[in-house]
Structure 1
Amino acid sequence: MIRALLTSPISQSKAIFVLVILTLLVTLPGLASLSVLDRDEARYAQASVQMAESGDYLNIRFQDEARNKKPAGIYWLQVAAIKTFSAPETRNIWVQRLPSVLGALLAVLATYFAGAKLIGRQAGFIGAVTLALSMMMIFEGHIAKTDAVLCAMGALCFSAIAHIRTETAGLSLWKARPAVWIFWVALGFSILIKGPVIPTLVALSMGTLLLWERRGYGMRQFVNIPAIAACFIIFLPWAIAIGIETNGAFFTESLGHDLGGKMVSAQESHPGPFGYHLALLSVTFWPGSIFLLPAFALAIRTVGRSGHKTSDLAKAVRLCLAWILPYWILIEVMPTKLPHYSLPVFPALALLVGMVFTHLVAIKDFKILRFINGSLFLIVSAGLLYGLVYAQAVFSGTGLPTSLLLTLCLAGVLALLAGFAIWSNAIQLSFLSAGLCAIILNITAYGVILPSLTSLRLTDQLEAGFREYNIPLPREGGPLVQAINFTEPSLVYRFGKDIRLGDQIDLNSPETWRVGQLFILDTLHKKGAALERLRDAKNAQGACLDLRFSVEGLNYSRGDTVDLRVLEIVPCD
């Protein structure tokens, strides 16, 4: 049956059903058991919780600090999920991840509909499967951030453009096709999610197409007054309100510091050379990356043939390349580099894979490129499997169970089969083997291995220790907790916004030393410097400390081994 999906024409209803099941199959495992991740996910999640608790849906705050980085859209989605399925005080992170799951699902379906229009249902289905199984799409579908939803909005815009380019007969300034409405509504929501990212992508793509083709291919249909008005109605009221509320500070910080800063210098310790995203593509787009080199070779051949420049396939490929290349150059030029920056162009990349899949099934081609891609795929697959085995063996505390090792070995065999199959041009076998390898590996990673890495789940260990020793958390009415040098945002999410972190703590203030309050101290940080400061301040205040419990592990955000001590201020005898 699975092989038939790759070889036989597939109905739209069957394709949609399979894509929904597949996307949920790889995004739902681990959604509840995977700990909230530091640092960005924890910040988004906590800001959404505070919004739900306060009822202030305009301002975005992390503790008492204004979080003027991204618009309110993703926070509203998370608050809606909290209100529907949970409550702010329960801190069910899976609930806040649901918008990302839905974003991944919508991105996959939009990619399918774009591909079905551009390159046929079978190739569109293969492209959508490729996107659903891509490593970065699955990762972003698991965490409570903006990027899966942003990818969905971009995919909807891309799909709308694909449909309009094949329907060149326009309607009017006041009457529009559904695709025009989808385009402008998705664009409006994308601005509400992450500001100008998708508008920039759309502008670069359309500008490139106009320069390349010297004709619009129906693009005038997007000039539709009601649809454009709907786009502005979606984001403009909030933009005006937050501008007034913050006296323009939101836009100064969001556009000037956050976005503008990333455009001119490396921000948040994330520099990278030109070519950073290209170098990572074999990993971020895995397992679909096994077809990327032949896909680009076929794309270049298709648009380069003088006799086929006006064919539907050439038009489709030009759209994909115009969606990918200008934006890719932009994110490579930007000094700040993060792996997920390339995600908005993954739908177009996936459709190029769908196109080359159908081509290679029919014609034996690109022998050298297939060999290179197959080799890279095997290297990346080996690295991923080794990483999972190492993480389970070192950080789980339970070793490597035989059943888990056999499962990973099966994934490894499938990876080998995929690599050897593409070398021999057994394209269907290669795609099927790579896909099954990705399904097994991702379900195992997110559903079993990552949630079991207790040495990395420091905040969860601290919360468990508080409950074991019957110490109420601050968000449950417990004593004040002050984390001196372990200041990860996940602490705020789990302990509540009243926890004090780092510079918020004045060790010379008598209020800091009230009996019953607690410190969290990493004794290994900077060779124990904070421990010495705490001792000096304790002696100056005439206070006494009692060790309640300790936690050891690795702070993966910094790459540091930590020894966390929970110290209670007690009366001196």
Structure 2
Amino acid sequence: MRPAAFLDRLPETRRPVPWLLLLCLLLWLPGFFTIPAGDRDESRFAQASRQMVESGDYVRIRLGEVERNKKPAGIHWAQAATVHALEAVGIPARGQIWAYRLPSLIGGIIAVLATCLLGRSLVGRRAAFIAAAMLAPCMVLLVETHIAKTDAALLATITIAMGLMGKAYLTPNGFTPRQAATFWAVLGLGILLKGPIAPIVPLLAGLTLAAMDRPAGSPWWKPSAPWQWSLRAGWGIPLMVLCAAPWFVAIGIATEGRFFAEAVGGDMLGKVSSGEEAHWGPPGMYAAIFGITAFPAAWVVLRALPGSWADRMQAPVRFLLAWAVPTWLLFEAVATKLPHYTLPAFPALMLLGARWAMDPLRVAPPRWVDWLANLALGGVAIGLPLVAGVAVFRVEERIDLFAIIGLIAGIAMTWALLRMARRAQWGRAALAAAILAVPVYASVLEGVIPRLQAVWLSPRLAAQVAAVAPGLTARDFGVVGHHEPSLQFAMGGDIRLLRDGAAAAAFLAEAPGRIAAVNDRQEAAFRRAAAERGLAVRELGTVTGLNYVRGRWVAMSLFKVD
């Protein structure tokens, strides 16, 4: 069978789930097992979950000896359950970062399948399948499935909830109590994952739709549309609260209220009012980087937006715009900007893009939109492996074969898709983009990143400690100048994070057999303090690498007292 004929048949498949599962695995498994734990969020989440497993305390969230009162416990429970399940069948998973990434992988798969299965009522069977295939390779989702934190799992809950809300909006009389219960229950799970983000998305969509659909003269506070009653908020909201409330009560008691003060007053409000942890960005930043975060689907979605706005009076399009636009504007207004924040709007954007691609009466976008979409496609397809290759050359002064392979794949992908664009084969092109993205991503995720040894300082330092002091307990290891969470995950949450060289000398003097890792900036102070204490220290080796979070090279030397 000709490849073109194969691609033509894919939208007709009546068994979309196996195809989408295969696509997700091809896209997401490269690098999933081989990329070490990253700094900082991934290692923080994974180590906190690991400490839950080891301590048996599933209420309080701790990183080392410090309370981590930022996010609810939902993702930690999912990660801990995954580790327990793997160990129950004989797979040693506690110290493997991929085990903590599995909930993200599963969450991404659920989001893709929900886009397909629940999106049918909004755009039709074929377009929903293409929308799901467009969502899977989006770069921001691909990254999130490789990171052991909340956002891919959160996307799953939001996609299910909004898909059900779309059913209620279009066919309120056929929306059953069971579907309503599922809607509110998944929002409750979303609250356990990341607080108020999950219910905010349907709330904003509902307010937008209510404003657009309200009959003239109707009070703003009174539900006037059948879909509003079909959601059964009277008992649905208590159900949502019931799903999340027990843990919030327990954590409030366990931390004497500190969780709410720090999570709401510190973490959430801090992100709204200022750029937390130097992640500030101006309004409009998400629109500016959409070609990157939604690659390669942005190539189709950007073309679809003008036509979608023109069709906004059609009920399915109106619902999808009410899902995507207010959510997008909310995060554009928040001071803290991270690429994954707008991810909850992506399923709606993919459905709009697929609807346009499959519409035989589609309206062609303005020429400048065509140009912008083509630039986004070629810029990322060629630029991603090119940047990866340049990074390897600058950091390790070598030419990476996998980056070259990825560059060739990116050029071929761009050429093939632009050729389809000239023929206006948009449905086929959307599917081809998802498939052709596989070798581009795989070359970087499996070929380049795991082999870029200089940036994986923590696992290399942990391996050096294991080589020179087999069986050393975490409590007998102290570190100065590299307090990254990845080192805690690699060696254990009980390692001592020391302030300076003098503290390292005091740490070694307190008990025999201890080892301290001291960075090059503190080594002179450490040696002076050790001499003042009369300690005969011996150097056990040095590990040099790039701390990519801080953007500087670090040389970590290991010392013990003879």
TM-score > 0.5 by shorter chain: yes
Structure-to-structure mapping, 1:92-131, within 5 angstroms? 92-131=96-135
Residue 404 of structure 2 corresponds to residue 405 of structure 1:
yes
Deviation at 1:344, TM superposition (A): 1.0
Amino acid at match of 2:417: A
Are 1:561 and 2:560 matched, yes or no?
no
Q: What's the counterpart of residue 182 of structure 2? A: 182
Q: Aligned ranges for residues 52-201 of structure 1 at < 5 Å?
A: 52-86=53-87, 90-169=94-173, 176-201=176-201
Confirm whether residue 292 of structure 1 aligns to residue 289 of structure 2.
no
Measure how far apart 1:168 and its partner are. 2.0
1:243-301 Cα shifts (integer Å, max 9, x gaps): 11111111111111100111111111111111111111111100001122221101111
Q: The residue matched to 2:526 in structure 1 has which SS?
A: helix
Q: Secondary structure at the match of 1:436?
A: helix
- Shift, 1:226, TM fit: 5.0
Contact 2:357 2:426 in 1 (8 A): yes
Cα distance, 1:184 vs structure 2:
0.6
Corresponding residue of 1:440:
439
Note if contact 2:420-2:426 (Cα within 8 Å) is conserved in structure 1. yes
The CA deviation at 1:33 is 1.1
Give the 3-state SS of the residue equivalent to 1:326 in structure 2.
helix
Give per-residue Cα distances to partners, 1:371-418, cap 9 Å, x unaligned.
Answer: 3211232122222121122234455677423x7634531332112322
Comparing 293-302 with 146-155, which one deviates more in the overlay? Answer: 293-302
2:205 is the alignment partner of 1:209: no
CA change 1:81–1:230 in 2 (3 A) is same
Summarize the alignment of residues 18-417 of structure 1 with structure 2, pairs less than 5 Å apart: 18-86=19-87, 90-169=94-173, 176-214=176-214, 216-225=225-234, 227-303=236-312, 309=313, 314-359=314-359, 363=362, 365-366=364-365, 368=367, 369-395=369-395, 399-401=399-401, 405-417=404-416
1:497 aligns to 2:493 (yes or no): yes
Deviation at 1:321, TM superposition (A): 1.2
What SS class does the counterpart of residue 200 from structure 2 fall into?
helix
- Cα distance change of structure 1 residues 262 and 276 upon mapping to structure 2, 3 Å threshold: same
CA 1:240–1:269 in structure 2 vs 1: closer, same or farther (change >3 Å)? same
How far the C-alpha of 1:467 sits from its partner, in A, is 2.9
Task: Determine the C-alpha separation between the residues in 2 that align with 1:356 and 1:560.
Answer: 46
CA shift digits 1:428-460 (9 cap, x unpaired):
454344223311112222222211111111111
The aligned length equals 547
- Cα deviation, residue 349, structure 1: 1.0
Query: Could you say what secondary structure the match of 1:549 adopts?
Result: strand
2-structure distance, mates of 1:227, 1:147: 24
Which moved further from structure 2: 492-501 or 82-91? 82-91
- Rounded to whole Å, the distance in 1 between the matches of 2:350 and 2:362 is 20
Could you tell me which residue of structure 1 aligns to residue 518 of structure 2? 521
Distance 2:500 2:46 in 1: 21
* More displaced stretch, 530-539 vs 546-555: 530-539
Match of 2:543 among 529, 532, 551: 551
| Displacement after TM superposition at 1:60 (Å) | 0.5
Secondary structure at 1:551 match in 2: strand
Secondary structure of 1:562's partner?
strand
- C-alpha distance in structure 1 between counterparts of 2:28 and 2:533, whole Å: 52
Letter in 2 for 1:35: P
| Distance (whole Å) between structure 2 residues aligned to residue 394 and residue 227 of structure 1 | 55
- 1:552 is paired with a residue whose SS is strand
The answer to whether the Cα contact below 8 Å between 2:36 and 2:456 also exists between their aligned partners in 1 is yes
Structure 1's 356 and 93: CA in aligned 2 closer, same or farther, altered over 3 A? Answer: same
Question: What is the Cα deviation at residue 423 of structure 1?
Answer: 4.8
1:306 is matched with none
Answer yes or no: is the 8 Å Cα contact 1:482–1:505 preserved in 2: no
**How big is the shift at 1:9?**
7.8
In the alignment, residue 354 of structure 2 is paired with which amino acid? G
Check if 1:481 corresponds to 2:486: no
Q: Tell me, yes or no, if the aligned pair for 1:396 and 1:452 is still in contact at 8 Å.
A: no
Contact 1:374 1:423 in 2 (8 A): no
Counterpart of 1:109 in structure 2: which amino acid? L
Report SS of the residue matched to 2:424.
coil
Secondary structure in structure 2 of the residue aligned to 1:567: strand
1:104–1:151 contact (8 Å) kept in structure 2: yes
Q: What is the rounded CA distance, in whole Å, between the counterparts of 1:421 and 1:268 in structure 2?
A: 43
Q: Closer, same or farther in 2 for the Cα pair 1:344/1:507, shift >3 Å?
A: same
Give the AA of the match of 1:518: I
One-letter code aligned to 2:146: H
Deviations 1:131-151 (A, max 9, x none): 111011111011110000001
Find the aligned partners of 1:545 and 1:417 in 2 and give their Cα distance: 62
**Matches of 1:126 and 1:53, distance apart in 2:** 43
Contact 1:6 1:126 in 2 (8 A): no
Which one-letter code corresponds to 1:516 in the other structure?
G
TM-aligned CA distance change 1:121 to 1:473, over 3 Å = farther
Question: Which one-letter code corresponds to 2:30 in the other structure?
Answer: P
Distance 1:324 1:5 in 2: 32
Q: Give distance in 2, aligned partners of 1:404 and 1:263.
A: 38
TM-score for both structures, normalised by structure 2 = 0.91
- Asked if 1 retains the 8 angstrom alpha-carbon contact of 2:388 and 2:403, the reply is no
How many angstroms apart in 1 are the aligned matches of 2:174 and 2:502? 66
Q: Is the 8 A contact 2:64 2:494 kept in 1?
A: yes
CA distance in 1, matches of 2:418, 2:11: 26
Unaligned runs of 5+ in 1: 304-308
SS at match of 1:554: strand
Deviations 1:346-386 (A, max 9, x none): 11111111112113x55572251223211232122222121
Asked if the contact 2:71–2:193 (Cα under 8 Å) also holds between the matched residues in 1, the reply is yes
Provide the alpha-carbon RMSD of the alignment: 2.4
The 8 Å contact of residues 35 and 457 in structure 1, kept in 2 or not, is answered as yes
Contact 1:6–1:428 (CA under 8 A) maintained in structure 2: no
* Distance in 1 separating the partners of 2:10 and 2:516: 64
State the identity as a percent.
32
Give 1:515 shift: 3.9
Maintained 8 Å contact 1:111/1:347: yes
Cross-structure match for 1:459: 458
Q: Deviations over 1:133-189 (max 9, x none)?
A: 101111101111000000111101110111112222267xxxx43321221111000
Seen in structure 2, the aligned counterparts of structure 1 residues 62 and 393 have a Cα distance that, compared at 3 Å, is same
Residue 501 of structure 1: SS of its match in structure 2? strand
Rate the CA distance shift 1:47–1:506 in 2: closer, same or farther, 3 A.
Answer: farther
One-letter identity of the residue aligned with 1:164: A
TM-aligned CA deviation for residue 536 of structure 1: 3.0
1:378–1:419 contact (8 Å) kept in structure 2:
no
In 2, Cα distance between equivalents of 1:246 and 1:364: 57
Structure 1 residue 93 displacement after superposition: 1.1
Q: Which moved more, 1:413-422 or 1:290-299?
A: 413-422
Q: In the superposition, relative to structure 1, how do residues 261 and 404 fare at CA in structure 2: closer, same or farther (>3 Å)?
A: closer
How far did 1:470 drift? 4.2
Shift of the 509–42 alpha-carbon distance from structure 1 to 2, 3 Å rule, reads: same
Aligned to 2:220: none
Q: CA deviation at 1:3?
A: 4.5
1:533 partnered with 2:510: no
The answer to whether the 8 A contact 1:132-1:138 is kept is: yes
Deviation at 1:227, TM superposition (A): 4.1
> How far, CA to CA, are the matches of 1:371 and 1:532 in structure 2?
57
State the Cα distance separating 1:490 from its structure 2 match. Answer: 0.6
User: 2 CA distance for matches of 1:115 and 1:492?
Assistant: 42
For 1:158, the aligned partner's letter is M
